[in-house]
Amino acid sequence: MAKKDDKKDSKNKDKGATVEADKDAAPMPLFYKAPIPLDGKAHKDLGLKKNFGLKFTKDVNAVPINMIEMPQICHYYPIGFSPDDSATPVAIVGLRDNENLFLDSKNQWLADTYIPAYIRRYPFIFSEMPDNDQLSLCVDLDKDIIESKGEQPFFDEDGKPSQLSQNALEFCKSYHAAAQQTLGFGKALHDADLLVERQAEINIGDGKKINFAGFRIIDEKKLAELDDKTFLEWRKNGWIPFLYAHLFSGSQWQKLTSLLNQKLEKDNK
């Protein structure tokens, strides 16, 4: 959601943005519209379209990431944490609302750039089945992604999961396990009161500025003052590299600014 600029210096400021989710939105995971469990009978003729691209990421400026991705993410994106108690780590991919700076006009990701696993998982996702703890492989039935009798079916002629579905199942298993680890990591950061809200004011040329808010970062002073017991516990958990991956990711704000300036220059031609 965009933040209103102060009247003062309003001529020199562009529309700002926040990574905070709409509080009135339905509790549906980002990107997903109607995920349903894959069924060998109901979906025997359905499959994924080939090369459907990444258009579904066009209107986002932040994507959830898992803790184990952070050492890779930090080389390409700033990492922030959501403002709620879960403190979900996110890769920030844009500086304005509804704008992903890493997606080009052909819906392809910026070359030689790591793509977060959350995006690579789509349109598949795990969902808990009603009345039990069993997880079921689901797919988002989006007409831009799914087709009938295509080259990438979900099931073979015998109604058994295709190699595509088997690969999706394994990927979702790995993602789910990493997500569970990330929940503990984020909660520990929140409970230790290490996270502070940040508002970044970014220069985008021609004297204009953007205010970007709605996310948190680790306070380096609080981290340095962390008690020994907690630090040793986190070291035992293997979390220390991920703390510093987040801190190192701060250098990527400059990259985002550069990508936005390139887009503005192209749009103004």
Does the residue 3 lie in any domain?
no
Most confident among 81-95, 118-132, 134-148 (mean pLDDT): 81-95
- Asked if residue 22 has pLDDT above 80, the reply is no
H-type alpha helices, the chain: 70-73, 117-121, 163-191, 220-224, 228-237, 240-248, 253-267
pLDDT tens digits, 90-105: 999 999 999 999 999 8
Domains in the chain, number: 1
Domain contains 2: no
pLDDT bin (cut points 50, 70, 90) of residue 191 is very high
Q: Which residues contact 163 (CB under 8 A, 6 or more apart)?
A: none
When the pLDDT of each residue in the chain is averaged and rounded to a whole number, the result is 87
Residues 153/50, Cβ–Cβ less than 8 Å: no
CB-facing half-sphere around the CA of 151: CA atoms within 13 A: 4
Give 28 or 77, the one with higher predicted confidence.
77
Residue 27 has a pLDDT of: 64
Nearest-CA neighbor of 38 among 132, 167, 133, 144? 167
Is 1 a domain residue?
no
State pTM to two decimals. 0.87
Per the model's pLDDT, the better-predicted residue between 210 and 164 turns out to be 164
**Residue 239 is assigned to a structural domain of this protein:** yes
Give the percent of the chain with pLDDT over 70.
87
Angle at 113 between CA 166 and CA 73, to 5 degrees: 80
**What ranges make up the beta strands (E) of the chain?**
17-18, 35-37, 46-48, 62-64, 79-81, 89-92, 124-128, 135-140, 146-148, 152-153, 195-203, 209-218
pLDDT of 12 above 60? no
Hey, what are 268's tokens? 């103004």
Q: Which of 218, 222, 124, 131 is nearest to 173 (CA)?
A: 124
Assess if residue 269 is contained within a domain. Answer: no
Does residue 9 have a pLDDT over 70? Answer: no
Residue 137: inside a domain: yes
* Across 204-229, average pLDDT: 89
* pLDDT exceeds cutoff 50 at 15: no
pLDDT at 35: 92
Position 169 scores a pLDDT of 96
Domain that holds residue 27: 10-261
Say if 235 falls within a structural domain: yes
Q: Considering the domain boundaries, does residue 98 fall inside one?
A: yes
* Residue 206 predicted with pLDDT over 80: no
Determine the pLDDT at residue 200: 78
Question: What are the pLDDT digits (tens) for 235-266?
Answer: 999 999 999 999 999 999 999 999 998 988 88
Helices 240-248 and 228-237: crossing angle in degrees, nearest 10, is 90
